[in-house]
Chain A
Amino acid sequence: MSAIMREKITRSEIRHVAKLARLELQEEEERLMTDQMNNILSYMDKLNELDTSAVAPTTHAIRLQNVFRKDQVEPSLEREEVLANAPQSDGASFVVPKVF
């Protein structure tokens, strides 16, 4: 990473985010991720050059709102299908390693 670029995200923040995402990163991967994330975040600065003061904030690129469905019950999946991809099941439930 070039020294002139101000760090947007630090190595320790990368470690924290990786931990939250249950990712185990090697030293080399951590360095790579830090660089790449910093590049992405720097690109945001480029976008910030645009004057958007007259534009309302949005979370979507499409102008669509109030998409609803009626409160009607539709058939669910057969349980066999539901459990078909489960790494482990007891025929009724998914079986996972015990958490705390």
Chain B
Amino acid sequence: MEYEPIIGLEVHAQLLTRSKIFCGCSTTFGALPNTHTCPVCLGMPGSLPVLNENVVEFTIRMALATHCQIAAISQFARKNYFYPDLPKGYQISQYELPLAEKGWVEIETQRGPQRIRINRIHMEEDAGKLIHDEFQPVSHVDFNRTGVPLIEIVSEPDLRTPEDAASYLKMLRETLRYLEICDGNMEEGSMRCDANISLRPVGTERLGTKTELKNMNSFRNVQRALEFEIRRQRALLEKGETIIQETRLWDTGRNTTVSMRGKEEAHDYRYFPDPDLVAIVIDEQWIERVRGSLPELPDAKRERFMRDYELPPYDAQVLTSSKALADYFEAAVQRFAQPKLVSNWIMSELLRELKKDEKDIEGCQVTPQQLAELLELIDKDIISGKIAKSVFQEMYTTGRSAAGIIDDQGLKQVKDESAIESVIDEVLAENNKEVELFRGGKEKLFGFFVGQVMKKTKGKANPKLVNEILRKKL
């Protein structure tokens, strides 16, 4: 039987506020354990949480960017469970009245563009970090991360393949980064993803039993975990066995998902409205103010790049894949106004090098101005396109300017006719036989002579002049 995977994702994104969600402790990553804590985030009796206004502001931004409806009244709730990373015995989250609901994003899939519905976006606090001791049966608890603001973005089960899931995740990441509300770093945990997945026979409506996958800390792992889980569930169904509804952890080392046993009662969270926090009332005015402050989002930017710079859709897609890359392109075009040429160089030379080094555009030593300068030099025939590529390599590794490298290495194109003429004379003198053959009608040899001249001048001779003079001489 053919099975169709039904996938939904829950994405947690750490918001880039300076202070925590309910207290003034710093959110900076990497501090010594428990140095960013206070009575509020340690859950001490008598302390009271007060909501950070930027958390609301940032969440509204994401809600608008994903076409959600923003609740006029929303409320925090307590999610009760016992785990040592949670000093209060409950997590402050939202339950019945989340800030935003019923949105969507559009993603590219093999079946064409698909709209993925978003069920809800809510605010909550992050938990602390546990480090399990290697030698003793104890854990070490660091509460620095406790109370760092998160938003949880819950999709509807609209994803159909692991590739869909990856492309949806990338879309969310791109949007969060464009909005400058989350750095989107999955490896460092500032963006985390859980997946719900079930299979059903193709053509049927009823959903199968789902499993929840956790612990996938990269785009690649999300895709691999889903691929594995599809195979596992399909094998069980084909044997006539039933899927158990459970949480499974992705094990990167072993490329498999493993059941988390013994959580049978853990899902009874006994949510109730948090009496310590008052309702959040958001009016049209507030929403419109945030809407007005939104930056240009990926879709709009893509369209503008196609329209204003006359770029093909593919170029526009690649260049707007991150805000930093789009900004880089625009800064370069400002200096050298041939958008397609700039785009070609970014997409081929620049992105190839960055990919090789696993770096982002932010880590690139070549500034957009320097790239523009290099293209200007090609445009003015000061260097050839071929030499420019090796100059670029040098710029990329050293961060030096094109002009400096060209001067140092004497790479300037030779446009001095007499200099070229003397090289040509040399070449013709050294290749008597070929000259005779050419004059005898073997026209194809012209390319051979050009090649020899270029070789002697290390590619620096101006090709147009070489052609002209060679024609004359032959």
Contact = CB atoms under 8 A, between A and B. Distances in A.
A69 interface: yes
A68 B50 contact: yes
Contacts of B277: 67
Contacts of B268: 16, 20
B168 to A, nearest CB: 29
Contact of A71 (B34, B54, B279): B54
Contact of A73 (B24, B32, B137): B24
Contact of B33 (A16, A60, A66, A92): A92
A83 B38 CA distance: 11
B33 A93 contact: yes
B470 interface: no
A61 to B, nearest CB: 9
Contacts of B56: 68
B380 interface: no
Nearest to B39: A77
Interface in B119-138: 130-133, 136-138
Contacts of B24: 69, 72-75
A60 B275 contact: yes
Given A71-B18, A82-B42, A76 B139 contact: no
A38 to B, nearest CB: 18
B273 A59 contact: yes
B278 A60 contact: yes
A59 B84 CA distance: 29
A63 to B, nearest CB: 9
Contacts of B80: 20
Contacts of B50: 67-69
Interface string B103-145: 0000000000000000000000000001111001111111100
Nearest to A66: B281
B42 A98 contact: no
B19 A72 contact: yes
A49 to B, nearest CB: 23
Given A74-B24, A76-B35, A98-B133, A66 B141 contact: no
A68 B270 contact: no
B280 interface: yes
Contact of B138 (A62, A68, A95): A95
Nearest to A77: B38
A16 to B, nearest CB: 7
A83 B273 contact: no
- The B contact surface, by secondary structure, is loop
B84 A99 contact: yes
B17 to A, nearest CB: 5
B462 interface: no
A59 B97 CA distance: 11
Interface in B271-317: 273, 275, 277-281
The size class of the interface chain A forms with chain B is: 35 or more
A13 to B, nearest CB: 11
Given A93-B140, A96-B138, A71 B52 contact: yes
Contacts of A68: 50-53, 56
Contacts of A60: 275, 278-279
Contact of B25 (A59, A73, A96): A73
B38 A76 contact: yes
Contact of B137 (A64, A77, A79, A98): A98
A96 B51 contact: no
Contacts of B280: 65-66
Contacts of B131: 93
A76 B262 CA distance: 37
Given A68-B52, A73-B24, A90 B140 contact: yes
Interface in B20-50: 23-26, 32-39, 42, 50
Most buried by A among B82, B130, B138, B262: B138
A16 B53 contact: no
Contacts of B82: 22
A69 B52 contact: yes
Looking at A68, A72, A93, the one whose CB has the most chain B CB atoms below 10 A away is A93
Nearest to A71: B54
Contact of B139 (A65, A75, A98): A98
B47 to A, nearest CB: 11
B75 interface: yes
B352 to A, nearest CB: 40
Interface of A: 16, 19-20, 22, 59-60, 62, 64-77, 79, 82-83, 88, 90, 92-100
Interface of B: 17-19, 23-26, 32-39, 42, 50-56, 75, 80, 82-84, 130-133, 136-143, 262, 265, 268, 270, 273, 275, 277-281
21 contacts: A20-B265, A59-B279, A66-B278, A67-B50, A68-B50, A69-B24, A69-B50, A69-B51, A69-B53, A73-B18, A73-B24, A74-B38, A76-B36, A76-B37, A82-B42, A82-B143, A92-B34, A93-B140, A93-B142, A95-B140, A98-B136
